[in-house]
């Protein structure tokens, strides 16, 4: 009589045979040597690339309001890519007040903020702020070109730290000096940041031309230290600088700033003025055509240039000319001419 097998005995036997099988892959995580010796394969976690301590803990919150277009969204994503110390957040409702951003930055543990505000689905404004104490600056963003749109030949490693290059005018004017310090704290990647690389291979340039700040990003080529543009690129037109974060007393107001609404209004007025001028010219031409013509008085000096023509003798014809017969057929006309010639010959003979 066969002995009864215990429940689970077959499964245990299979499991033991699987452990002894040399063709099996890696052993189970709980299986180890029974004698307590160190396994032959050991895995060690490599140390971090930068051994220094991360002291300057600057964190920048980059987000926008609702109603932005695709180009603004791509520009915002490019800035997040270039700045490893940045954080993202959902879009803010346009009905909310701007001072709510200070609370959002506090929740995200950020002390700097770049906020894109869209109006009328065509105007883009950028806020740079030091939260929550301030100061903050408001700019009108113009001539936006993103990384994907430019298709530049330059390239840089993701997370590398940039050099910041400023125009000499940033050290002369006090409001530009304030903006320079704000740009350094926002766009400069802190040293020994966990997400940053420990070398520099691109440059952020801030140039002042035509009362505007032009932002460019260049790659540093190692062979000859030349610069190749990467992107993105945009132009910042300063509007105001506030003492607080997203508000407060005005420290500086740009006298050269012209709002987009005023610019569009001036363009419409210039087009209307040109059309009005054309209509007035047409009306003047109609009046001239309808008006009576003024006779110009004769100039007595014109007689000097008149030369009298030679008088020809007058010939009076006494005999009535013979009427020519009207013959449509050319053959009949030739016959009549021949008959006349024959008569002439006879009379002469």
* pLDDT tens per residue across span 93-135: 888 888 899 999 999 999 999 999 999 888 999 999 998 888 9
* pLDDT, average across residues 160-176: 93
* pLDDT, average across residues 31-39: 54
| Enclosing H/E stretch for 75 | helix 70-82
| Enclosing H/E stretch for 208 | strand 197-209
Confidence band of 19 (pLDDT split at 50, 70, 90): very low
Query: Domains, the chain, ranges and CATH?
Result: 60-262 (3.40.50.10480)
In the chain, the percentage of residues whose pLDDT exceeds 70 is: 83
Predicted local distance difference test score (pLDDT) of residue 78: 93
Q: What are phi and psi of 263, to 5 degrees?
A: -65, -45
* Least confident span in 16-25, 112-121, 199-208, 278-287: 16-25
Confidence band of 23 (pLDDT split at 50, 70, 90): very low
Is the pLDDT confidence value at 292 over 70?
Answer: no
0.85 exceeded by pTM: no
Distance CA 348, CA 342 (A): 10
More confident residue, 57 or 23: 57
Distance CA 216, CA 213 (A): 10
> Would you give the end-to-end CA distance of the chain in angstroms?
174
Is the pLDDT confidence value at 6 over 60?
Answer: no
Positive or negative: CA dihedral 328, 331, 332, 334:
positive
Is the pLDDT confidence value at 31 over 70?
Answer: no
Is the pLDDT confidence value at 11 over 80?
Answer: no
Could you read off the pLDDT of 304-328 as tens digits, one per residue?
877 877 888 888 888 887 777 665 6
Predicted local distance difference test score (pLDDT) of residue 300: 80
H helices of 134-255, in order, are: 147-150, 174-187
């Amino acid at each position: 009589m066969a002995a009864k097998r215990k429940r689970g005995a077959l499964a245990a036997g299979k499991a033991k045979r699987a452990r002894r099988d040399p063709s099996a892959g890696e052993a189970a995580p709980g299986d180890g040597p029974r004698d307590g010796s160190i396994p032959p394969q050991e895995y060690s976690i490599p140390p971090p690339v930068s051994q220094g301590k991360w002291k300057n803990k600057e964190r920048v919150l980059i987000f926008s309001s609702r109603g932005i277009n695709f180009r603004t969204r791509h520009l915002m994503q490019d800035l997040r890519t270039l700045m490893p110390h940045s954080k993202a957040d959902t879009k803010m409702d346009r009905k909310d007040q701007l001072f709510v951003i200070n609370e959002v930055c506090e929740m995200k543990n950020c002390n700097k903020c770049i906020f894109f505000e869209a109006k009328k689905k065509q105007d883009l404004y950028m806020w740079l702020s030091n939260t929550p104490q301030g100061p903050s600056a408001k700019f009108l963003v113009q001539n936006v070109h993103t990384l994907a749109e430019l298709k530049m030949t330059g390239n840089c490693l993701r997370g590398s730290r940039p050099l910041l290059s400023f125009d000499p005018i940033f050290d002369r004017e006090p409001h530009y000096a304030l903006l320079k310090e704000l740009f350094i704290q926002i766009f400069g990647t802190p040293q020994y940041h966990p997400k940053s690389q420990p070398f520099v291979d691109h440059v952020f340039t801030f140039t002042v031309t035509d009362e505007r700040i032009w932002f460019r990003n260049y790659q540093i080529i190692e062979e000859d230290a030349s610069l190749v543009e990467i992107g993105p690129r945009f132009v910042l037109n300063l509007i105001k600088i506030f003492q607080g974060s997203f508000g407060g007393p005005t420290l500086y107001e740009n006298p050269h700033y012209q709002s987009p609404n005023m610019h569009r209004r001036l363009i419409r007025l210039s087009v209307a003025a040109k059309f009005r001028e054309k209509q007035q010219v047409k009306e003047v031409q109609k009046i001239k055509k309808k008006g009576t013509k003024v006779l110009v008085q004769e100039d007595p000096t014109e007689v000097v240039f008149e030369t009298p023509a030679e008088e020809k003798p007058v010939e009076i014809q006494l005999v009535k000319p013979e009427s020519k017969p009207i013959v449509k057929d050319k053959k009949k006309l030739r016959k009549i001419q021949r008959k006349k010639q024959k008569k002439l010959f006879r009379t002469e003979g």
